[in-house]
Amino acid sequence: MKPNLIFLILSTLIISCKNEKVSIKSQSVLQNEFDQYITVLGIAQDGGFPHINNTDEYIAVQKGLADKELVTALGVIDKKTHKKFMFEATPDMPEQLALLDNEHLKNDAIIDGVFLTHAHIGHYTGLMHFGREAMGANKIPVYAMPRMQSFLETNGPWSQLVSLQNIAIKPIQADSTLTLTKAIQVIPFLVPHRDEYSETVGYKIIGNTKKALFIPDINKWSLWERNIVDQVKQVDYAFIDATFFKNGEIPRPMSEVPHPFIEETIVLFENEPKEVKSKIIFIHFNHSNPVLQKKYEGRTALEKQGYHFANTGDVFPL
């Protein structure tokens, strides 16, 4: 082999190794570089992954053939004011709060506030861990819409969290702006969903330089009074409902659990430039959704178009 060819191969290998190190370190570098940011604390639909009544999924995780995925939640961190917030109170909240504490920000409070979207099991039942049977917390701020607040205050065991002051409910209203810190604001907004026990909201999270949408649950985009394409264009990141990839994915009528299929969402954005598509970060994946497999061809094809898929641990500066 000619010397110059050997040199070229060695140079390529060195560059590749350097790039790999940069990729591995990029998340921690990002956390240290920015005072305010969002981190993904979970990506699965309410039942998580592996899912109940799916022993094969548990075996796959045990054998290292699939990854365990926590239920969908976001963390919002402001290192400058030493505050951290969580969007959703999932059944996996103990592990998610530990992630925030150990990998992002350790302060006197386990959490400075929890924002709820609605009363489905993956989005509020984590509050149970604040109760006397577990943490016995003291006045954890919980931000809730009117029906959500009423549901918690008048139904056990959640009402006990209120009466024992394990949580302190902070009432919020749709389209009203809450100032969390000097650098972070939050605006809740109503979205159509199966509102059996509470209304459902998404959130706009506003930082000094970036804005994000968080809509983990919605019935169908066509039922919303706002245009999702326009809403995505107004922000830098859009964490949106991707529970199912397509119709027929589960063995029961999918009208019982309506969500916008990923296949439906991408049709709405098919004529938009890559710049717009790249703002979308799909999240809230049902255990049946094939995009949980990172090498699934449907996922990789969409990634080439600019779309993103949330991963636990991802960091997005605000």
- State mean pLDDT over 182-188: 98
The answer to whether 47 and 68 have CB atoms below 8 angstroms apart is no
Of the candidates 256, 229, 260, the residue with the CA atom closest to the CA atom of residue 242? 260
pLDDT band at 122 (very low <50, low <70, confident <90, very high): very high
Residues in the chain, total:
318
Token readout for 204 is 């706009």
- State mean pLDDT over 148-169: 98
Question: How high does pLDDT run on average in the chain?
Answer: 90
Residues 6+ apart with CB under 8 A from 256: none
Q: d(Cα 117, Cα 241) in Å, to the nearest integer?
A: 13
The answer to whether 247 and 147 have CB atoms below 8 angstroms apart is no
The answer to whether 198 and 119 have CB atoms below 8 angstroms apart is yes
Q: Which tens digit of pLDDT belongs to each residue from 58-82?
A: 999 999 999 999 999 999 999 999 9
Q: Can you give the pLDDT at residue 149?
A: 98
In a domain, 124, yes or no: yes
In a domain, 156, yes or no: yes
Q: Which tens digit of pLDDT belongs to each residue from 131-141?
A: 999 999 999 99
In a domain, 5, yes or no: no
Q: Which tens digit of pLDDT belongs to each residue from 193-228?
A: 999 999 999 999 999 999 999 999 999 999 999 999
Give the least confident one: 2-16, 45-59, 142-156. Answer: 2-16
Any idea what the CATH number is for the domain that residue 140 is in? 3.60.15.10
Token readout for 34 is 């920015």
The percentage of the chain sitting over the pLDDT mark of 90, rounded to a whole number, equals 84
In a domain, 3, yes or no: no
Range of the domain at 216: 29-317
pLDDT band at 32 (very low <50, low <70, confident <90, very high): low
Q: Can you give the pLDDT at residue 31?
A: 62
pLDDT band at 30 (very low <50, low <70, confident <90, very high): low
In a domain, 17, yes or no: no
Residue 95: is its pLDDT beyond 50? yes
Q: Can you give the pLDDT at residue 10?
A: 36
For residue 78, list its beta bridge partners: 36, 83
For residue 40, list its beta bridge partners: 74
Q: d(Cα 161, Cα 237) in Å, to the nearest integer?
A: 34
Which is more confident, 159 or 255? 159
Strand order in the sheet with 237-241: 178-179, 185-190, 201-206, 211-215, 237-241, 280-283, 308-309
Q: What is the DSSP code string of the chain?
A: --HHHHHHHHHHHHHHHHHHHHHHHHHHHHHHH-SEEEEEEE-B-TT-BS-TT-HHHHHHHHTTSS--BPBPEEEEEETTTTEEEEE---TTHHHHHHHHHHHT---SSS-S-EE---SSHHHHGGGGGGSTTTT--S-EEEEE-HHHHHHHHHSTTHHHHHHTTSEEEEE--TT--EESSSS-EEEEEE-----SSS--EEEEEE-SS-EEEEE---S-GGGSSS-HHHHHHTSSEEEEE-S-SSTT-SSS-GGGS----HHHHHHHTTTS-HHHHTTEEEE-B-TT-GGGSTT-HHHHHHHHHT-EE--TT-EEE-
Q: d(Cα 310, Cα 72) in Å, to the nearest integer?
A: 10
Q: Which tens digit of pLDDT belongs to each residue from 285-312?
A: 999 999 999 999 999 999 999 999 999 9
Q: Can you give the pLDDT at residue 153?
A: 98
How large is the C-alpha radius of gyration of the chain? 21
Q: Can you give the pLDDT at residue 26?
A: 44
Q: Can you give the pLDDT at residue 75?
A: 98
- State mean pLDDT over 150-159: 97
Total structural domains within the chain: 1
